[in-house]
Amino acid sequence: MNRSILLRPLFITLGLLMLLSLPGCRDRTPRLKSLAPGALIMAFGDSLTSGYGASSAASYPAVLESLTGYRTVNAGRPGELSAEGLERLPDLLQRYRPDLVILCHGGNDLLRRRDPALTAANLRRMIETVQRSEAEIVLLGVPQPGLWLRAAPLYQELAEEYRIPCNNEILAKILSRRELKGDDIHPNAAGYRQLAETLARLIGQAGEN
């Protein structure tokens, strides 16, 4: 019998296994729970959240509020390191009692070449703090400095560890396009709108199977 015929089932099996192992072939992304009418969203982070480079009305939390109808608190503080954010977070959770927290932090740690393990540890404690408050959480991956813009690996690792929704692509995608950014590390108004639209779709899909 022709050897290629004998090997054909093996090649087919290996091909299927390779396809299944590719990112996106299996949807493992956890889904958000549906937000009730009147729910409150808190966007927590640094200058990417505050809307640096655009007006306050053009920041992604402000645009997200207009797109979803959910009150959205902008808790962004420009220049903040993750250790500082960790200290600030508990009081804000107690004050606003959000139903959903969008966590976009660690960018200043990356820019200042801080130890990734320490940044991950701070983000880990932020995630745990949010989860203890019983709020839902979405993690945004921040691009690390380099020739090719891509989210630092620690964001995906944390998302998998805590089984939380995470978007590692949108900020890198926005900051890779000149027409969507105000400088090398911040979107402009159009970029912030695209970020808000991406998050609005994610929130709109909450609870879907």
- CA angle (33 as vertex; 29, 34 as ends), nearest 5: 130
Confidence of residue 28 (pLDDT cuts 50, 70, 90): low
CB 114 within 8 A of CB 149: no
Torsion (CA) 119, 150, 60, 72 in degrees, nearest 10: -40
Task: Write the pLDDT tens digit of every residue in 158-177.
Answer: 999 999 999 999 999 999 99
Q: Is residue 209 pLDDT above 80, yes or no?
A: no
Instruction: State the Cα–Cα distance between residues 72 and 112, nearest whole angstrom.
Output: 29
Q: What is the pLDDT of residue 15?
A: 46
Number of domains observed in the structure of the chain: 1
Per-residue pLDDT, 17 = 44
**Domain-located, residue 23:** no
On average, the pLDDT of the chain sits at 88
Phi and psi for 73 in degrees, rounded to 5? -90, 130
Q: Provide the CATH number for the domain around residue 111.
A: 3.40.50.1110
Q: Does any domain span residue 25?
A: no
| Per-residue pLDDT, 126 | 98
**Domain extent for 98:** 35-204
Residue 121 lies in a domain: yes
List pLDDT tens digits, range 109-151.
999 999 999 999 999 999 999 999 999 999 999 999 887 899 9
* Band (153; pLDDT cuts 50, 70, 90): very high
102: β partners = 43, 138
**By CB neighbour count within 10 A (0-12 exposed, 13-18 middle, 19+ buried), where does 75 fall?**
buried
In-domain check, residue 20 = no
Q: Where are the beta strands (DSSP E) in the chain?
A: 40-45, 71-76, 100-104, 136-140, 166-167
Q: pTM for the whole thing?
A: 0.85
Q: Is residue 196 part of a domain?
A: yes
Q: Which of 21-25, 85-89, 102-106 has the lowest mean pLDDT?
A: 21-25
Domain assignment present for 75 = yes
